[in-house]
Amino acid sequence: MLEQNYWLTSTEMPAANGTEFPERVDVAVIGSGFTGLSAARTLAQRGANVAVLESETIGWGASSRNGGMVLTGMKLGVNQLISMYGRERTQQMYAASLASIDCVEQIVRDEAIDCDFARCGHLEVACKQKHFDDYARQAEVIAREFNHTLRVVEKNDLSSEIGSTIYYGGMVDEISAGCNPARYVAGLARAAMNAGALVFEHARVQTVERESHNANAGWKLSTSRGSLWAHDVFVATSGYTGRATPALQRKIIPIGSFIITTEILPAALARELSPRNRMIYDSKNYLYYYRLTPDRRMLFGGRAAFFPENDQTIRQSAEILRRGMIDVYPQLADAKVDYVWGGTLDFAFDIMPHAGQLDGMYYAVGYAGHGVAMATYQGQKVAELIAFERNGEDHNASDPTRNAKPENPFVGIPFPGAPLGLYNGTPWFLPLAGAWYKFLDWVS
Ligand SMILES: Cc1cc2nc3c(=O)[nH]c(=O)nc-3n(C[C@H](O)[C@H](O)[C@H](O)COP(=O)(O)OP(=O)(O)OC[C@H]3O[C@@H](n4cnc5c(N)ncnc54)[C@H](O)[C@@H]3O)c2cc1C
């Protein structure tokens, strides 16, 4: 078994085009995942000078390591969202979550990104009878409030969706998609560079300070490769947000998630495990998510350890996930596990995506494991906001949508920090949170 990200074996990351730092840029984007690259592409297309600053290499963070599930919806249930934000805002959020999948599809098509994007749908499976009973209620609310259809699948019919007998039923959303995330982030990077953005690797941003340049207010960014001045800064660092942006770091909890993939499976076995090739996840808090890869491996992931990835958490996770996979699919008892790896997710304290400005810098974070589509979308939307705020209304633009301030229901919602301010960016409470989620799965 290799401790290595399987997706990277099928992908060639493009070479970064940034060599010397320009003295000044219009926008500095920190982070080269889906959020940062999608933003850089949109900003460069709208004529801005953009530098993407990446501390490691292109797509190094969660964007190349995830399950490649391009999912509808958000982490929280719709009833909870309605009670937090009211019906109208929740409707806008749900519409945005559907639009985010169209956004990925559009970019993949426009930029001809070869990343196995397919609208295969997702299947949520119920680990308890009461979870299944709740599916019908959720489907009814979603049909009524958001005009979106989910299909509830009774236990007796579940074999048409999944070759496992341990679940109490399921719920299908046909709109979701799957992709190879490393190929997708590589394609996004090429698209951003083709649009004119400069991407700098091994450029860790160390400090960001307000500084004027020729009487223009803006920011001085000091990095491990030198410094540059930017009129605006977009922080797109997700679960890897660090000390360079301390206010944002205090609002984000970095949580590890881990994945194994098996050897290539015989075609008949792969069809038995997932007859419709769905993106699948279960109904627990401490959940498993799984799918077939395009070359017919079972990819099986979960929060096997709560701490972010390191040699120890990755190795422990491999065995925990293998046992979990065999609980779901006893047919895989003898399948060899070829790869294991981990990555870091970003959770806000209210488990919601957040975007807008903090301390004068733009940001989009908080995807909570639903970031393939939403990070791409938020990158684009916040970039549109920056372009709008820089240029104002542009009545001469050929695209009339540029004349209005872009709407984004995730901008302006309360962005809570830790209760009583008990968090400085070091997540000391993760073992407690892990135990708490396990307890919730036991009782609920
Ligand atoms: C194992 C795993 C499985 C997942 N599965 C799914 C899934 O199936 N479906 C789904 O929708 N979502 C999934 N997610 C979540 C999804 O991958 C993320 O939400 C999404 O990739 C976030 O993209 P991003 O661009 O915001 O951040 P990232 O891709 O994490 O990129 C942030 C980048 O910022 C850089 N950075 C940080 N600090 C600095 C600094 N100071 N200077 C310069 N650069 C810096 C990092 O090096 C990193 O490359 C998964 C995540 C993980 C870890």
136 CA distance to ligand 1 centroid (A)?
33
Which is more confident, 128 or 403?
128
pLDDT digits (tens, 9 = 90+) for 272-296: 999 999 999 999 988 999 999 999 9
34 lines ligand 1 (CB under 6 A): yes
Contact 159, 13 (CB under 8 A): no
344 lines ligand 1 (CB under 6 A): yes
367 lines ligand 1 (CB under 6 A): yes
Q: How many residues does the chain have?
A: 444
SS percent in the chain: helix, strand, coil, step 5: 40, 25, 40
128 lines ligand 1 (CB under 6 A): no
159 CA distance to ligand 1 centroid (A)?
34
- Helix, strand or coil, per DSSP, at residue 283: coil
**Average pLDDT in the chain:** 92
Mutational test site, ligand 1, from 97, 372, 410, max ligand atoms within 8 Å of CB: 372
Of ligand 1's atoms, which has the minimum distance to the CA of residue 38?
25
Please count the CA atoms within 13 angstroms of the CA of 146 that sit on its side-chain side: 26
337 CA distance to ligand 1 centroid (A)?
24
237 lines ligand 1 (CB under 6 A): yes
Of ligand 1's atoms, which has the minimum distance to the CA of residue 67?
8
188 CA distance to ligand 1 centroid (A)?
14
77 CA distance to ligand 1 centroid (A)?
23
pLDDT digits (tens, 9 = 90+) for 201-247: 999 999 999 998 888 899 999 999 999 999 999 999 999 999 999 99
- Residue appearing with tokens 């969660």: 62
Question: Which pLDDT belongs to residue 395?
Answer: 52
Mean pLDDT value of segment 369-379: 97
Which is more confident, 110 or 310?
110
Question: Which pLDDT belongs to residue 430?
Answer: 62
Q: Which of 74-78, 254-258, 405-409, 422-426 has the lowest mean pLDDT?
A: 422-426
- Give dist(CA 53, CA 381) in Å, integer: 20
Q: How far is CA 408 from CA 97, 99, 261, 307, 358, in A?
A: 11, 11, 36, 32, 16
Question: Which pLDDT belongs to residue 149?
Answer: 96
- Give dist(CA 197, CA 205) in Å, integer: 17
Mean pLDDT value of segment 289-316: 86
pLDDT digits (tens, 9 = 90+) for 234-254: 999 999 999 999 999 999 989
Q: Please tell me the pTM assigned to this model.
A: 0.95
Question: Which pLDDT belongs to residue 279?
Answer: 98
